Structure 1
Amino acid sequence: MHDTAGAAAKASRDGARIRKRLLTAVFLSTATASSTFLAPAFGQQYAFNQVVIEGNQLVDNATILGFAGIRRGEALTQAGLNDAYQGLVRSGLFETVEIVPQGGQLVIRVKEYPIVNVINFEGNRRLKDEDLAKVVRSQARRVYSPSMAEADAAAIAEAYQARGRIAATVTPKLIRRSGGRVDLAFEITEGRVIEIERLSFVGNRAFSDRRLRQVLETKQAGLLRNVIQRDTFVPERLELDKQLLRDFYLARGYIDIQVSDASGEVARERDAVFVSFSIREGRQYRFGNITTVSEVAGVDAGEFGALSRVRSGVPYSPVVVENTIARMENLALRKGLNFVRVDPRITRNDRDGTLDLEFALVRGERVFVERIDIEGNTTTLDQVIRRQFRSAEGDPFNPREVRQSAERIRALGFFSDAQVDARPGSASDQVVVDVNVEEQPTGSLSLGASYGVDAGVGLNIGFSESNFLGRGQAFSVAISSGADDTSSSISITEPAFLGRDLSLSLGAFYDLTKQKNAIYDTANVGLRTALSFPVGELSRLEIRYGLSKNTLKNYRGRDVNGDGTIDPVTERNPTLVAEAAREGEITSAIGYTFSYDTRIGGLSPDRGVVLRFSQDYAGLGGDAKYISSALQALGERSVLNEEVTLRAIFEAGAISPLGGYNTRVTERFFGNGKIRGFEGNGIGPRDQVTGDALGGNFYAVARFEADFPIGLPEEYGLSGGVFMDVGSVWGLKGNVVDAAGAPIDTGFNPRAAVGVSVLWDAPIGPLRFNFSRALKKETYDREQRFDLTISTQF
């Protein structure tokens, strides 16, 4: 029993050992098989005696082997075959690639990409085919590349997005043709224009959203959203808008201004964009103590300090500081003080919100301009760009002058982009100034219509070129015809006569006018030349000469008695009869105009003063003998955080006959458009029998107006205004009588009118609708309760 049990136990132990050995054998065999299966592929070596290439028609065998990097007889691993495969795929020439080892032979099978036959654009209406062709890189008669086609589709979509069509989609499609060729078609879904529904600001306290929107290049969509293009969302434009906001605040003393973010959020329906600007204004700083010191031996700081236009107590403005520095450095150059630099040193006083400014005259580094290199101009002559620099080769290098020259080049309007940079020259004391420009069209052909309550409907056609023949000259031809007048003119202006800041203009004109409130016509034909040049930082002088023939034509008189005929004695004004008989008189006159405009220097962005005084002396030959003088003065200021603009304008004129000369109606003043509330030729001396306006030798007008928002969304471009005009036209030489022989009132009789205005910043120009009422008038004056004009800048 015991032996039996022991035998059984021994048999059990032996079975367990056998099972363990079997499991170990199975495990080891499995592990060996797995290790063989999981071993790296590159461990296997291939050697080929022959490489066979199949499927190629356009690409030769040597080129394919070159892309694959395979040599006959060379041993390759599986990794080497993979590299060969990737090289063929990266070549971009093959649609499919297959590499098959077959014993001592390697077979490479390829399917080449087809050749592009033509490139078509389908579904595009807003962008023309020729415009899209400039965007894509795929070309006809070249191998088709899927990656390039996808890149072209993305470029086309970006072109639409730049025009506000964010939802535009572009899909490249292939149309198979025989002979291994395909037509590449870009299917375009343009989508709607995504307009800016709202421009908002966060963090602005000193200025309202309405005021800040006026600063931006981007605009909200308004009434004419299908006409105005600046209300489309262009992400690249946001950076420009951020800089415009910074400049706006800096010019008003907010030195800590930060425009931290500008983002555009697309509406869920993808039909509008909401743009928001985040602003940190900080406090406004004003100029404190202004001093000038000299750290250069022998240089008087007081002489330079007298040139400063910076005044204590006014808001800080970097433009004023830069202008003062330029003025001081120009004085140093005139005095032969080379390498003298003016450094502005600002001390910040946070307690009282002022900035103490010290202009320090220091000795700069001795660096010279080696040369000025100009590139990118194919039409514009080098000399047009070069004359914007105040320094030439060999002159001392002034970094500030280079920056100002860059601004002058951009201000020409000839270039879409202009970059001016300085780099080291051939020696340590030499600098090369590089100018890279990108030209843009400078000519325009205009065809349009105009309307005025007085002038009626008119047609205009004109051609202008601001860079004529690449010489920087302005050339223009214009013809306009209205209900009561026809005019034509031609002119050419050289802005840098004799290579200096002298503007020389030559022109000819012909005007034929049917006078309102008068039964006569006028004709004016002549030539004019003028020379204009600066006489100060903010002032300019023009000297001119004109030769013209002014004629009173077709004086018909008026059928006062209603009998169908006009009596030459009782129904015609004797003054006009006498002047009409003076047909063919010539006017030869020399004159000048002095103008002063504080807005040029940007001293105060919220206010400005303009003064103009002109005189013309007629008597250098010809028949006319007189001196004509005119004065214009304007003062304006923005108040209430620049929401409201107050403006006062004064104009006056006088013509003084010489040597017994009697002025003609073509030379006298009528005050047309000067006093609102009255028609053209509606005030001044008048023949009350015939109704003819005679004009006067004197006029004076004072206009006061205020422009302000009226609560409508600013994207409509509508604002309001109120005005009051006071003035008169008077004075005629000699005994002036009407057709009945009674004296005509030629005295100073002031008129006054008040009214309200609706201002519309329309795409065709700023329109002003005036609703007025005369408070003081004469019985023979002609009132006008409504007037529509295109507002012009004084």
Structure 2
Amino acid sequence: MRVGAERRSCSSAASVAMGSTNIPSRPSRCEVRARAIVSGLIHAQRAPPAATTVASETRVSSGCRNAGVNLRKNRDKVRYLANDGAARRRGRTRSSGKNVGNDVGLTPDVVVWDRAAVGAAQGESIGRSARVATHMPSVWTTAPSALGCGASPHSVSSAPVSEHDARNRSDGSARGVSRLRLSAASLALAAASGVFAPAWCDFGVAAAQGVIRAESPFDGRPVGVVRFEGIERVSVQLLRNQLRTREGRPYSEATAQDDVRRLYRLGQFRSVEASLEIDPDDPGAPLTVVFRFVEAPIVEDVQVVGNRRVTDQDLARVVNILPGTPMDEFLLGRSIRAIEELYRNRGFFLVEVTVDERELEESGIVLFRVREGERVRVTGIRFSGNRAFEDRELRPNLRTKTAGILERGPLDNEVLDNDVTSLIRFYQAQGYLDIRADRQITPSPDGREAIVTFVLDEGPLYSLRNVVLRTADAEAESRPPVFTAAQISAIMEIKSGDIYSTQRVERSMEAVRASYWRLGYADARVQRDELRDAEEPLVDIFITVVEGPRFRTGEVLVQGNDLTKQKVIRRHVRLRPDRPLDRGAVRETERRLEASQLFEAGSVRVTVQPERREDPGYRDVLVEVAETDTGSLTFGAAVGSDSGVTGLIGLEQRNFDLFDPPESVGEFFRGQSFRGAGQQFSLALQPGTEVQTYSVSLTEPHLFESDYSLTGQFFFRQRIFRQYDEERFGGRTRIGRRFGDRWVAGLGTRAEWVSLSNINARAPAAIFDDRDRALLTGVSLDMTRTTVPPTERFRPTRGTRVELAVERVGAFGGDYDFTKLRAEHQIFMTVYEDYLGRKGVLSFKTTAQYIPEEGEAPIYERYFLGGRSLRGFEFRTVSPRGLRRDGTPSNEPIGGEWLFFFGTEYEHPVWRDILSVVGFVDTGTVTNEIGFDDYRVSIGSGVRLYLPQLGQAPLAFDFGFPIRTASGDQKSLFSFAVDLPF
């Protein structure tokens, strides 16, 4: 049996309603369109005792089998047993004298009806053909003449058959027990949403032997026996628990239908049938209700053959069929689609998956046969009809990529459809509201490659003509609106005469809403209607504002914080009691709480409560959070061209509480101590080949619940340079103050001891001069202004960052006395963005540092460039050179007192959000006097790998090429920095 594409393409919704026979009307794929006939319970009146019961069959012609449907082996059939009159006309008749029960379940044959019979039964003529759904539960309906069915296939009637008609029948069959069967397919389909019919066939039509009535003549008669047939594996008690039809109760057709539905929903059966057995000689005798079952086979094993390009393990992850469970047609279809989708994602667009029905019938093994086909790759993407935009401007909106080194270029219909939608959105955002787009696929002769062409009909470019404002409630109340039309126009980003961009219109509507919200109109609704001119490409916007009442903020309630203190949460709340209730501030509160990383992702909800009854005009705000684990223990490593290999063992707690010691050992190990105050604690052990750092730090971001912060740190650091080793240990403190969301100022102090050792004998004399252990103390003042979003710390896409700092070394005594000045400016701007939101970012960085006191700073406080700080040059080699102790010049750097750096870099996304390429220009110099002598310039390119498993910082690999150097410079073409958490 072919499963897969046909099943989806020929699906047809079907339903069964009492009192009628419903026929799916979706066209079939056969040459002759037809309709599937799904019969419900056939009601028939009981015939006189002289009536006889005869069953017959008509087999499907070979033409249907040639169409690809083998109904004899298909376990989901549409079966009809007709009387002998219809059977004789089709040429196949069973031997007479047997009752209907002898024919039940013997052969999977199909009887089809002729035009007149179907027309009479359905009230319409549907032609000489009918389509039969081969993927429905088995349908069994009988209307033997003993129950009053018409004698002629061209006569469909509920009237009883006369004795004369019965005696004139050619079979002369004896009177037997009449059976009235309830269609399980009809009842199952009534509970289902649709019918999947993978193949439809052309049949002739034979006579319908009954009609469906809304009520059964047997309703109300007592039930004598309820019997189950065909049960081997399923518990009878389980079945009885599903029934509402019981011995001794009155029979109800509706109840019997519900019973069949419940039994079928157990998922244990291929088909469920309910029938009545009655004694025609005793009209008042109790009824016998018989439930007949065909049990679904048990899946013995699941196997796949034909898969060469995809492993069994990969396929097992998408197949939802488990050995030992009953066969489920729905799961079978879903597994087929999952396998096909897996192949399509890997470029096998022509894959076909079928199920071996014979193997399933004989052994219970679900055998998927995969015909992989050739891998289809997209080798070209073209555009047709684009006059306003060039191909290069449209390509960023596509997810479909051409095959290359970094892309496999798979051909996928779903992705192509999304690309069409993306192009439409792109054009509409540029003012082409009538854009129409489609795509065409041109395969190569061997089917391995394809060219995709996107066909575009751009239409005219629309402009905004007028903006009309209407404030509905203000007009109704005869009061002036909050904003006039002129003010609304000023708030909007798009103006009259501008190109009608859907994106700018949406942003304008959001700006209007935010303006109302800021004034406390929390329920303000802003609706937009567009009216296009029939003659010219002009659009008028009609803005309807429902201002609603003005509210003020009541209480801000917090729930869900078991460990985190209320004050920590309220720091992020942008709403204040008795202030105008601003829904924009509600959204900002949610964003800030999510960004704090103190709670589960997606768990933060900030909702505005209904107006207080006792205090009109006020509405409370409820903040709901869910605690998460804010501590982490990190093991990792780092590799860098400047620092060698470094290990990392880190302990971090983002919600630390220094004054919450554990009350028991168990509380400590359960993580219920030292938590809840929002402090940040970190302990880092970083041994390495060239650099070793050990530190512990604690930060209180809101000292005494103010905008001040306090940070304390103790550290030990050892660094191996080419000419000497440096060792530092000491501590630092910093008090910060935040001014709004952009400005931060800080006052810091430091005290540390520094010493040099293992000095090379040929090192410059300045290194020997500073080798003794020295105490450095200092006080610093810094101020920073940033517009870079906090969520983009490691990958900025917009904003600026300016930092000014001054430090006085020796402020608290020590061995040195000098001043250090520093200024730094960074700019980030998005110059490219595709429809997936991936951005190309251009950045600029300028740094200037200066020590005014000439010759006062030791070598380990002076400035150097090179390595990652000036790519293309060796680490710390861009610097003045010194003299050796014997007076000869040395090529080793000794640092300078003036540093200037300017660089620009462009980062462009290449593959998903993981891989980007960069191009850069680095320039700078280090001298002992302010100036630009010995200015260096390098250019280069590199890649960035953003792997979430390795942290937020990217893996950076750069190739730099110096194009302007100074005498004695040491070049380094390759620089890199890799952080690898375990």
Shorter-chain-normalised TM-score: which range?
0.5 to 0.7
Does 2:718 align with 1:512?
yes
Give, in whole Å, the separation in 2 of the partners of 1:371 and 1:276: 59
Give, in whole Å, the separation in 1 of the partners of 2:726 and 2:412: 51
Give, in whole Å, the separation in 2 of the partners of 1:51 and 1:261: 62
1:397 counterpart letter in structure 2:
L
Q: TM-score, normalised by structure 2?
A: 0.52
For structure 1, the 5+ residue unaligned runs are 1-26, 177-181, 290-294, 560-571, 732-745
Does 2:882 align with 1:687?
yes
2:934 counterpart letter in structure 1:
R
CA-to-aligned-CA distance 1:252-294 (integer Å, 9 cap, x gap): xx567799779898989998998888996987999x99xxxxx
* Structure 2 counterparts to residues 311-710 of structure 1, below 5 A: 365-368=549-552, 388-391=572-575, 396-409=580-593, 411=595, 417=602, 425=610, 447=636, 450-452=639-641, 454-455=642-643, 484-489=690-695, 507-516=713-722, 519-530=723-734, 532=736, 534-535=738-739, 539-559=742-762, 573-581=764-772, 583=773, 585-597=775-787, 609-619=800-810, 621=812, 623=814, 624-634=816-826, 649-656=845-852, 662-673=856-867, 674-689=869-884, 690-703=890-903
User: Residue 405 of structure 2 corresponds to which residue in structure 1?
Assistant: 223
Secondary structure, in 3 states, of the residue corresponding to 2:971? coil
Give, in whole Å, the separation in 1 of the partners of 2:264 and 2:492: 70
Asked if the contact 2:377–2:449 (Cα under 8 Å) also holds between the matched residues in 1, the reply is yes
Q: TM-score, normalised by structure 1?
A: 0.62
Mark the CA change 1:629 to 1:173 in structure 2 (over 3 Å): closer, same or farther. farther
Mark the CA change 1:751 to 1:264 in structure 2 (over 3 Å): closer, same or farther. farther
Deviation at 1:485, TM superposition (A): 2.7
Mark the CA change 1:346 to 1:149 in structure 2 (over 3 Å): closer, same or farther. closer
For structure 2, the 5+ residue unaligned runs are 1-161, 170-174, 176-207, 280-285, 305-309, 468-478, 657-670, 885-889, 947-953
Asked if the contact 1:520–1:552 (Cα under 8 Å) also holds between the matched residues in 2, the reply is no
Task: Determine what percentage of the aligned residue pairs are the same residue.
Answer: 18
Match for residue 757 of structure 1 among 940, 946, 955: 940
2:927 counterpart letter in structure 1:
W
User: Residue 729 of structure 1 corresponds to which residue in structure 2?
Assistant: 926
Mark the CA change 1:514 to 1:275 in structure 2 (over 3 Å): closer, same or farther. farther
Give, in whole Å, the separation in 2 of the partners of 1:515 and 1:390: 49
Asked if the contact 2:694–2:715 (Cα under 8 Å) also holds between the matched residues in 1, the reply is yes
Give, in whole Å, the separation in 2 of the partners of 1:648 and 1:161: 44
Asked if the contact 1:446–1:463 (Cα under 8 Å) also holds between the matched residues in 2, the reply is no
Deviation at 1:653, TM superposition (A): 0.7
Deviation at 1:56, TM superposition (A): 7.4
Deviation at 1:631, TM superposition (A): 0.8
Secondary structure, in 3 states, of the residue corresponding to 1:585? strand
- Greater mean deviation of Cα atoms: 362-371 or 161-170: 161-170
Mark the CA change 1:183 to 1:668 in structure 2 (over 3 Å): closer, same or farther. farther
Deviation at 1:463, TM superposition (A): 7.1
Deviation at 1:586, TM superposition (A): 4.2
Give, in whole Å, the separation in 2 of the partners of 1:590 and 1:195: 60
Deviation at 1:682, TM superposition (A): 1.9
Asked if the contact 1:195–1:220 (Cα under 8 Å) also holds between the matched residues in 2, the reply is yes
2:859 counterpart letter in structure 1:
V
Asked if the contact 1:67–1:91 (Cα under 8 Å) also holds between the matched residues in 2, the reply is no
* Structure 2 counterparts to residues 88-103 of structure 1, below 5 A: 88-94=263-269, 97=272, 99=275, 101=277, 103=279
Mark the CA change 1:84 to 1:362 in structure 2 (over 3 Å): closer, same or farther. closer
Asked if the contact 1:416–1:439 (Cα under 8 Å) also holds between the matched residues in 2, the reply is no
User: Residue 964 of structure 2 corresponds to which residue in structure 1?
Assistant: 774
Secondary structure, in 3 states, of the residue corresponding to 2:939? strand
Give, in whole Å, the separation in 2 of the partners of 1:195 and 1:386: 54
Deviation at 1:700, TM superposition (A): 2.3
Asked if the contact 1:402–1:420 (Cα under 8 Å) also holds between the matched residues in 2, the reply is no
Deviation at 1:146, TM superposition (A): 2.1
Deviation at 1:550, TM superposition (A): 4.4
Asked if the contact 1:403–1:420 (Cα under 8 Å) also holds between the matched residues in 2, the reply is no
Asked if the contact 2:939–2:963 (Cα under 8 Å) also holds between the matched residues in 1, the reply is no
Match for residue 226 of structure 2 among 37, 51, 60: 51
Asked if the contact 2:804–2:823 (Cα under 8 Å) also holds between the matched residues in 1, the reply is yes
Deviation at 1:106, TM superposition (A): 2.8
Asked if the contact 2:918–2:944 (Cα under 8 Å) also holds between the matched residues in 1, the reply is no
Give, in whole Å, the separation in 2 of the partners of 1:249 and 1:206: 12
Deviation at 1:667, TM superposition (A): 1.3
Give, in whole Å, the separation in 2 of the partners of 1:281 and 1:754: 49
Give, in whole Å, the separation in 1 of the partners of 2:770 and 2:342: 64
Give, in whole Å, the separation in 2 of the partners of 1:635 and 1:327: 28
Secondary structure, in 3 states, of the residue corresponding to 1:49? strand
Mark the CA change 1:546 to 1:365 in structure 2 (over 3 Å): closer, same or farther. same
Give, in whole Å, the separation in 1 of the partners of 2:583 and 2:624: 17
Give, in whole Å, the separation in 2 of the partners of 1:430 and 1:199: 58
CA-to-aligned-CA distance 1:83-117 (integer Å, 9 cap, x gap): 65455334445566565737557364666969999
Give, in whole Å, the separation in 1 of the partners of 2:554 and 2:416: 37
1:402 counterpart letter in structure 2:
V
CA-to-aligned-CA distance 1:526-561 (integer Å, 9 cap, x gap): 444545554355x321425353534232242335xx
Mark the CA change 1:504 to 1:196 in structure 2 (over 3 Å): closer, same or farther. farther
Mark the CA change 1:369 to 1:65 in structure 2 (over 3 Å): closer, same or farther. same
Give, in whole Å, the separation in 2 of the partners of 1:238 and 1:379: 48
User: Residue 6 of structure 1 corresponds to which residue in structure 2?
Assistant: none
Mark the CA change 1:196 to 1:441 in structure 2 (over 3 Å): closer, same or farther. farther
Mark the CA change 1:455 to 1:496 in structure 2 (over 3 Å): closer, same or farther. same
Deviation at 1:521, TM superposition (A): 1.2
Asked if the contact 1:223–1:715 (Cα under 8 Å) also holds between the matched residues in 2, the reply is no
Asked if the contact 2:491–2:508 (Cα under 8 Å) also holds between the matched residues in 1, the reply is no
Give, in whole Å, the separation in 1 of the partners of 2:645 and 2:637: 11
Secondary structure, in 3 states, of the residue corresponding to 2:771? helix
Asked if the contact 1:47–1:74 (Cα under 8 Å) also holds between the matched residues in 2, the reply is yes
CA-to-aligned-CA distance 1:205-255 (integer Å, 9 cap, x gap): 7776656666888877653459xxx999796999799789969996xxx56
Deviation at 1:759, TM superposition (A): 3.4
Give, in whole Å, the separation in 2 of the partners of 1:174 and 1:467: 62
Give, in whole Å, the separation in 2 of the partners of 1:714 and 1:210: 18
Mark the CA change 1:514 to 1:157 in structure 2 (over 3 Å): closer, same or farther. same
Mark the CA change 1:368 to 1:313 in structure 2 (over 3 Å): closer, same or farther. same
User: Residue 288 of structure 2 corresponds to which residue in structure 1?
Assistant: 106
2:248 counterpart letter in structure 1:
R
Deviation at 1:728, TM superposition (A): 3.2
Secondary structure, in 3 states, of the residue corresponding to 2:759? coil
Asked if the contact 1:503–1:533 (Cα under 8 Å) also holds between the matched residues in 2, the reply is yes
Does 2:243 align with 1:67?
yes
Give, in whole Å, the separation in 1 of the partners of 2:871 and 2:462: 40
Give, in whole Å, the separation in 2 of the partners of 1:385 and 1:120: 53
Mark the CA change 1:747 to 1:138 in structure 2 (over 3 Å): closer, same or farther. closer
Asked if the contact 1:56–1:111 (Cα under 8 Å) also holds between the matched residues in 2, the reply is no
Of Structure 1 and Structure 2, the greater strand share is in 1
